[in-house]
Structure 1
């Protein structure tokens, strides 16, 4: 697979991020009875925006990765891949790179995934385990040095 590039998201990427979010999240949210306004979607895009990276493959914007790294933890806040690029190993590749970072720095990785989102199965195959849940999401964790 050709190399993916991660570039820091800029203000000019927000239109792309909005379309990406609508294309990847609305279906799963609505299956759960969650109907968000455009303002609510934009609010989610703006949350921790300085931690967002655009995924590029062959100079094409294919998705977003938003994560926070602290002293002991990496938290994936968002990973979204455009539908036409899903199933091409992009999400898996990005997560595996984060796992390598986590291994070298001895950090666990956590994320939350909507219960209706099939990405959950990708996370399980990679080694994430469900450690908690709420009404809408599974809370997952990967302890890299145990995989």
Structure 2
């Protein structure tokens, strides 16, 4: 994550990382692949939609379709429950291309991030 944070002029200090980790930590799950912990997923299911708070995959496991498969499962859940999905991604993070490919649209932006939404009615 550090390269994305540095490219976005955001803090990489230990305290800043801890704040990001602790943010909505009650919604966190460990992502496992072949019984190895390879990432973190934070997702909040709300009455009016699903918020994808954080998804991080260890760089050694990126590009293998793991993140895409997780996102497709979340999209299937949203479609079944007739809910939208929202997320925030740093503009410099190449994951945004995957989000667009899966049907997410940019609905707002800040200096360093895009706010995206997946919805059947977009």
The answer to whether TM tops 0.5 is yes
Residue aligning to 2:68 = 92
Residue aligning to 1:127 = 103
In structure 2, what is the Cα distance between the partners aligned to 1:65 and 1:130? 21
In structure 1, what is the Cα distance between the partners aligned to 2:5 and 2:118? 24
CA contact (8 A) 1:110 1:142 kept: yes
Give, in angstroms, the shift of residue 35 of structure 1.
2.4
> TM-score, normalization: structure 2?
0.95
> TM-score, normalization: structure 1?
0.80
In structure 2, what is the Cα distance between the partners aligned to 1:38 and 1:65? 20
In structure 2, what is the Cα distance between the partners aligned to 1:93 and 1:82? 15
In structure 1, what is the Cα distance between the partners aligned to 2:72 and 2:53? 16
Which of residues 88, 91, 115 is equivalent to 2:91? Answer: 115
Matched residue of 1:29: which SS?
A: helix
Matched residue of 2:12: which SS?
A: coil
In structure 1, what is the Cα distance between the partners aligned to 2:65 and 2:121? 23
The structure that is helix-richer by fraction is 1
> What is the aligned residue count?
122
CA contact (8 A) 1:72 1:106 kept: no
Residue aligning to 2:14 = 38
